[in-house]
Chains A and B, each alone.
Chain A
Amino acid sequence: MATIELQQVEKKFGEVYAVKPMDLTIRDGEFLVLLGPSGCGKTTTLRMISGLEAVTAGRILLNGRDVTWAHPSDRDIAFVFQFFALYPHLSARQNIAFPLQAQGESRQTIDRRIKEVSQLLRIEHLLHLRPGALSGGDQQRVALARALVRRPAAFLMDEPLGALDAEFRESMRAEIKRLHLDQHATSVYVTHDQIEAMAMGDRIVVMSSAVVQQVGTPAEVYHNPRSLFVARFIGSPGMNLIPGDYADGMVNLPGGNCYPVPPIWQRSLHNQMARAGRIILGFRPEAAQISSDGPLHAEVYAADLHGSYNMLHLSLDGKDILHARASRQEHFPIGTKLRFDLHPEWVRFFNADTELAYDCEVAS
Chain B
Amino acid sequence: MAAQSPAAPRLPVNFSTRVDEVSSRARLARFIRVVVVIAVAIIMLIPVTWMTLTAFKSRPDAVAVPPKIFFQPTLEGFVSLLTDRRQLTTEQIAEEQKRTDLTWIDQLALSRGQVITGPSDYPQRLLNSIIVAGVSTVFSVGLGLLSAYSFSRFSIAGAGDLLFFILSTRMLPPVVVTIPLFLMYRALGIYDTHFGLILLYTVFNLSFSVWLLKGFIDEIPREYEEAALVDGYTRLQAFRKIVLPQSLTGIAATTVFCLIFAWNEYAFALMLSADRARTAPPSIPSVLGTGGIESAAIAAGSLGFLIPVVIVTFALRKYLLRGVTFGAIRQ
Residues in B neighbouring A254, C-beta threshold 8 A:
none
Instruction: Tell whether, in the assembled complex, residue A79 and residue B3 are in contact, meaning their CB atoms are under 8 Å apart.
Output: no
Given known contacts A83-B223, A87-B242, A167-B3, is B326 in contact with A73 (CB within 8 Å)? no
Is B328 part of the binding interface, using a Cβ–Cβ cutoff of 8 Å? yes
Contact A52 B246 (CB under 8 A): no
Q: In the assembled complex, which residues on chain A have CB atoms less than 8 Å from the CB atom of B40?
A: none
Are A122's CB and B226's CB within 8 A?
no
A228 within 8 A of B: no
Q: Closest B residue to A90 by CB, please name it.
A: B245
- A85 near B329 (CB under 8 angstroms)? yes
Q: Is the interface of B mostly helix, strand, loop or mixed?
A: loop
Check A88 against B325 for contact (C-beta < 8 Å).
Answer: yes
How would residues 74 to 111 of chain A score, 1 for a CB under 8 Å from any chain B CB and 0 otherwise?
01011101011111110000000011001100000000
Q: Digit string of A150-162 for contact with B (CB within 8 Å is 1, else 0)?
A: 1000001000000
User: Is the Cβ of B3 less than 8 Å from the Cβ of A136?
Assistant: yes
- Inter-chain CA distance A132–B246, complex, in Å, is 14
CA A71 – CA B234 in complex, angstroms? 8
Within the complex, the shortest CB–CB distance from B164 to chain A, in Å, comes to 23
Q: Please measure, in the bound complex, the distance between the C-alpha atom of A9 and the C-alpha atom of B246, giving whole angstroms.
A: 35
Q: Closest CB-CB distance, B147 to chain A, in whole Å? A: 23
B5 adjacent to A102 (CB under 8 Å): no
Docked complex Cα distance between A86 and B227 (Å): 8
Residues of A within 8 A of B229 (CB): 51-52, 71-73
Question: Which residues of B80-117 have CB atoms within 8 Å of chain A's CB atoms?
Answer: none
Asked if A130 is an interface residue, CB under 8 A from chain B, the answer is yes
Complex CA–CA separation, A49 to B331 (angstroms):
25
Query: What is the CA–CA distance of A171 and B6 in the complex, to the nearest angstrom?
Result: 13
Which residues of chain A come closer than 8 Å to B233, judged between CB atoms?
A: 73, 102
Q: Say yes or no for A168: interface residue by CB 8 A criterion.
A: yes
| CB–CB B328/A131 < 8 A | yes
Q: Is B228 an interface residue (CB 8 A)?
A: yes
Asked whether any CB of chain A lies closer than 8 Å to the CB of B318, the reply is no
Q: Select the residue from A72, A132, A139, A167 with max chain B CB neighbours within 10 A.
A: A72
Chain B residues near A79 (CB-CB < 8 A) = 226-227, 230
Known: A132-B327, A136-B1. A83 touches B221 (CB 8 A): yes
**A122 cross-chain contacts in B, Cβ below 8 A:** 6-7
B71 at the interface (CB under 8 A from A): no
User: Assuming the A-B contacts A122-B7, A167-B3, A168-B3, are A132 and B328 also in contact, with contact meaning beta carbons closer than 8 angstroms in the complex?
Assistant: yes
Are A73 and B230 CB-contacts (below 8 A) given A88-B246, A136-B3, A168-B3? yes
Q: CB-CB contacts of B294-331 with A at 8 A, as 1s and 0s?
A: 00000000000000000000000000000001111111
CA distance A132 to B229 in the complex (A): 22
A150 cross-chain contacts in B, Cβ below 8 A: 231-232
Q: Is B156 an interface residue (CB 8 A)?
A: no
Cβ-based interface call for B50 (8 A):
no
Report the separation of the CA atoms of residues A86 and B4 in the bound assembly, to the nearest whole angstrom.
19
Instruction: Determine which of B6, B224, B237, B328 lies in contact with A139 in the assembled complex, contact meaning CB atoms within 8 Å.
Output: B328
Contact indicator A137/B328 (Cβ below 8 Å): no
- From residue 105 to 162 of chain A, which have CB atoms closer than 8 A to chain B? 122-123, 125-126, 130-132, 135-139, 146, 150, 156
Partner of A164, one of B3, B230, B326: B3
The answer to whether B227 and A87 have CB atoms under 8 Å apart is yes
B248's closest neighbor in chain A, by CB? A89
Residues on A with beta carbons closer than 8 Å to the beta carbon of B330:
83-84, 136, 163
Q: Which of A88, A135, A156, A171 has the most CB of B within 10 A?
A: A88
Interface status of B2 (Cβ within 8 A of chain A): yes
Q: Which residue of A lies closest to B331 (CB)?
A: A83
Collect the chain B residues with CB atoms within 8 Å of residue A146's CB: 227, 231
Cβ of A81 and Cβ of B3 under 8 Å apart? no
Complex Cα distance, B41 from A325, in Å, reads 74
- Residue of B3, B5, B6, B328 with highest tally of chain A CB at under 10 A: B328
Kindly report which residue of chain A lies nearest to residue B246, judged by CB atoms: A89
What is the bound-complex CA distance between A150 and B246, given in angstroms? 24
- 4 nearest CB pairs, A to B: A102-B232, A131-B328, A85-B223, A88-B328
